[in-house]
Amino acid sequence: MTTNIDQQIHSDSMTSTFSDTQMGYNGYANYATWNAALWVLNDEFLYNTAKACVTFCGENETPWAKFVRCMMNGQIGRYLGGTGDGVAWDCPEIDTHQMEELMANLRSGY
């Protein structure tokens, strides 16, 4: 038997998680994009790496592409080739436009 409080908690969590169906998943295109953004913004090493990629990307590379390359190649790629939840940084489902926007926000001190 559920109480009114249990129903309210369940209702609130479902509303906050899926209220914006236009954007897919918690304001992002899909789970993979949300998960990648979540890890970049909440893990100190990933955040600092992302900021460095914004600062040091070349003319022929976007900050997100540089981040993916840095995370997938060499020693780092062996250990951090994806988020802690198993989404690979080069996952084709990640919305690169949203990740580029996130990276641009890092430039301005997100």
Per-residue pLDDT band for 78 (boundaries 50, 70, 90) equals confident
Q: Which two tokens stand for residue 35?
A: 């998960």
Look at residues 77, 54, 80 and name the one whose alpha carbon lies nearest to residue 65.
54
Residue 2 has pLDDT above 90, yes or no: no
Please give the average per-residue pLDDT across 29-52, as a whole number.
96
**How far, in Å, CA of 74 to CA of 20, rounded?**
38
Higher pLDDT, 81 or 37: 37
| Per-residue confidence (pLDDT) for residue 14, from 0 to 100 | 33
Amino acid at 60: N
Q: Which two tokens stand for residue 72?
A: 């997938």
Please give the average per-residue pLDDT across 78-106, as a whole number.
93
What does pTM read for this prediction?
Answer: 0.75
